[in-house]
Amino acid sequence: MGVVLICACLLQVLLPLGAPRVEAQPASPARALDAALQDYAYRALARPHTGIVYDATVPANLTGIAASALRLRSGSLRRRGLAAYFEFAMPTGVLVQPHVERVVLVYHNLGNWSGYYYPLPGYTYLAPVLGLMVYDAANLSAVGLPDLTIVASGRPILVNFRNVRAVPPGGPAPRCVWFDLDGVPQFRDLEATNVCSTYRRGHFSIVVNSSEIAPAPAPAPSGTASPPTPTAGGRAKGNSNAWKIGVSVVGGTIALGLLASIMLCCVRHKREKKLEAMERNAEVGETLRMAQIGRSQAPVASGTRTQPVIESEYVA
């Protein structure tokens, strides 16, 4: 019985190692791009000065996308605002949540990649998608940082778009679109010509309902590969799944070894039960007398024999 309990304990401990793991849902292309651009922007901050804009260098497979970084004090941003950070104008009263001493504002311009990372069926982009993301500036060598929230407590943040495509006469009115971190779009009216407003960070553009106009052909991006996702060391990782295959092989080997151990335990258990049964039967049977034969002891049957009967005794 003890062998069975030991096998059961081994099964509970080792079997999860060979079971397939449930992988987390992969990040969307837009969120992977945010993480990559944060890494490239932070690399540009080698020896940063507060209030100076540093342009990031992106890899060749992201040609057409621009990113920049600007380090500021949270208190200065709240008290003074930011008159012009590319197309963004931030008024006074902008709060950072959760509060940190310094922040890095990372600017995105997705250019002709806008429709790839932020597809919007039924609408045509009149301007590229612009992004404004906020991160903690405490560690400028970190990657994969969580983004911070900014809230304009008074006047809204204005986005003044440049090089906006014109809508044909008689066409529908253009509208602003804001994408949250999940990529969900929200439409709003323009504040002024080519100007949108927001109270939070995110990605923004100007679009028009394409079902009411003949859309112009959009420029094709230079490639369709998704951006590499930065690792903790600041390097981009590929799409290799070698480590997953290795884990599966090791898990399968452990599972096979576990099954073999369980089968061996069962065979030993049956053998022990059989020996116990034989010993019990020997104890309840007839006891044989032991006799010395040569140099060893051996059981000897009883000397009682069937008594002979004379044939004449049967004659009456």
pLDDT 10s digits, 79-108: 999 999 999 999 999 999 999 999 999 999
- Residue 235 scores a pLDDT above 70: no
The whole-number pLDDT of residue 169 equals 84
Q: How confident is the model at residue 210 (pLDDT cuts 50, 70, 90)?
A: confident
Q: How far apart are CA 247 and CA 269, in angstroms?
A: 33
Q: How far apart are CA 6 and CA 14, in angstroms?
A: 12
- Counting beta carbons within 10 angstroms of the beta carbon of residue 287, is it exposed (0 to 12), middle (13 to 18) or buried (19 or more)? exposed
The residues near 270 (Cβ < 8 Å, ≥ 6 apart) are none
Residue with tokens 């992969």: 26
The whole-number pLDDT of residue 74 equals 96
Query: Hey, is 209 helix, strand or coil?
Result: strand
Query: Hey, is 69 helix, strand or coil?
Result: strand
Q: How far apart are CA 50 and CA 272, in angstroms?
A: 79
Weakest-pLDDT range from 63-72, 117-126, 189-198, 218-227:
218-227
The whole-number pLDDT of residue 241 equals 59
The whole-number pLDDT of residue 91 equals 97
Q: How confident is the model at residue 237 (pLDDT cuts 50, 70, 90)?
A: very low
- Residue 2 scores a pLDDT above 60: no
- Residue 177 scores a pLDDT above 70: yes
The whole-number pLDDT of residue 230 equals 47
- Residue 251 scores a pLDDT above 70: yes
pTM of the model: 0.62
Pairing of strands 236-237, 229-230: antiparallel
The tens digit of pLDDT for each residue in 275-316 reads: 676 666 655 555 556 666 666 665 555 555 555 555 555 555
Q: How confident is the model at residue 20 (pLDDT cuts 50, 70, 90)?
A: very low
The whole-number pLDDT of residue 84 equals 95
Mean pLDDT, rounded, of the chain: 80
The whole-number pLDDT of residue 268 equals 80
Q: How confident is the model at residue 121 (pLDDT cuts 50, 70, 90)?
A: very high
The whole-number pLDDT of residue 209 equals 93
